[in-house]
Structure 1
Amino acid sequence: MIGELLPQAVRCSATRTDHAAPGALFPQEESLLKKAVSKRRNEFRTVRVCARLAMADLGLPPVPVLRGPRGEPQWPAGVVGSMTHCEGYRAAAVARTDDIRTLGIDAEPHGPLPEGVLDVIALPSEQARLARDLPDGAIHWDRLLFSAKESVFKAWYPVTGVDLGFHEADLTFRQADGATTRGVFTARLLRPVPAAPQEFCGQWLVRDGLALTAVVIPRG
């Protein structure tokens, strides 16, 4: 599903079931899971299987996908990518850096955020737009906002090396013409960083109980 939000230069692999086969991880990856519970191990293993399938679609050999200082996936030279996992869905997307500068994907269960969370993640301007400009009904806009901010953060960090707080991106949503469950969003970035993009554009989709978002910044 999330592949529908990505351009042709980006390769994606996704699954709704966990990969339990032994040997799915490299030893370096296994070493990161010494204290992990079973649920975390399954998420970690399956999303890396997805990552290697996506890289294979780019013609790349299987390699370990380790974690950086902020928990971000570390991709091989010449590759940019993003991973996501939530209850019942795992996905990874990759591209060559010759084609794509950065990207971020996120999947969330499509339901309302827990009470109080919207105040933590949303600017007053965003809360006002959610209440004023977007139709009630099929979309849990608060959850979609959370997912879109996750995609923005995942795309932001690799090009800046700087953290981005929830209140440092101001997002606006729009439904696609003739559609109620998919559309686009714009993120105005409020943290000034030299040479960093000041705006990200992304796409969103709600389907089969999931809220899916993606940000892709082409090279050039």
Structure 2
Amino acid sequence: MRDVLKDLFSRSVAVTDTRDSMIDSSFLSLNERTYLENVSQNRKNEYIAGRFCAHQSMALANIPPVHIPIGKKGEPIWPSGVVGSITHSRGYAAAAVAKQSDVHSLGLDAEIDEPLSSRVLRRISIESEQEWVKAAASGLIQHPGKVLFSAKEATYKAWYPITNKWLGFKEVFINFHEERNSFTAHIQKNGPIAEMKGRYAIFNGVIITAIEIPPPPPENQS
């Protein structure tokens, strides 16, 4: 699936994915291994696979792989000058990494291609998005509710490193462009970014959504 993943980003972004749930954890730091002693085996496998993909992506981007600590809200803490995003979902893991000089922020999310319950859909979406889900269900997207959910997750992952602020599901409106397998995320919250462009792919039972925010234009020199 790596080729599918690569096509969602520009050449500035290095990506890696895996379906291997039995990856050797010796590359993790002592603190990470200690953290994993207190989590379930499933969570442990997901964490190791995600960090493995992150290390591989850093190497592909000619960035020396280093340990990636966990922030207070569970987010990965990337080294200075590096941006990235990690995702994992029931046996699939992936990571995208770039140099901050090339990319401002990244958001990557993967979900199993299966229905989203009506209860969850109501909780995460506004009426117009729910109408899109109903209309799209009769087209080429088998589970549009889950694609919507994933797009909002990717949006949050790209938003948080820039703002350090929470972004609720209903604080972002997603407008899909199905003919281009892309979407626009409209942020309904004060912040430095009001709109993000993203892409999505559905392949081998996995939904992948991706956002790449370009660097801000240089300030005018007086």
Report the CA distance between 1:135 and its aligned residue: 5.4
Give the aligned partner of residue 194 of structure 2. Answer: 198
Q: Does 1:147 align with 2:150?
A: yes
Asked whether the 8 Å contact 2:155–2:185 carries over to 1, the reply is yes
Deviations 1:122-170 (A, max 9, x none): 11121123334x3514421100000000000000000011000000000
* Pairs within 5 Å for 1:8-47: 8-47=11-50
Give the aligned partner of residue 5 of structure 1. Answer: 8
Cα separation, 2, equivalents of 1:36 and 1:138: 38
Cα separation, 2, equivalents of 1:2 and 1:19: 22
Residues 42/200 of structure 1: CA separation in 2 closer, same or farther (3 Å cut): same
Q: Does 1:69 align with 2:69?
A: no
Deviations 1:161-193 (A, max 9, x none): 10000000000111135xxxxx00011100112
Report the CA distance between 1:77 and its aligned residue: 0.5
Runs of 4+ in 1 over 6 A off after TM superposition: none
Give the aligned partner of residue 208 of structure 1. Answer: 204
Letter of the 2:59 partner, please give it: A
Cα separation, 1, equivalents of 2:96 and 2:44: 20
Asked whether the 8 Å contact 2:137–2:144 carries over to 1, the reply is no
Cα separation, 1, equivalents of 2:211 and 2:111: 15
Give the aligned partner of residue 168 of structure 2. Answer: 165
Asked whether the 8 Å contact 2:107–2:158 carries over to 1, the reply is yes
Task: Give the count of matched residue pairs.
Answer: 212
Letter of the 2:13 partner, please give it: V
Asked whether the 8 Å contact 2:84–2:95 carries over to 1, the reply is yes
Scaled by the length of structure 1, what TM-score is found? 0.92
Unaligned runs of 5+ in 1: 178-182
CA RMSD of aligned residues (A): 1.3
Scaled by the length of structure 2, what TM-score is found? 0.91
Unaligned runs of 5+ in 2: 217-222
Tell me the percent identity: 39
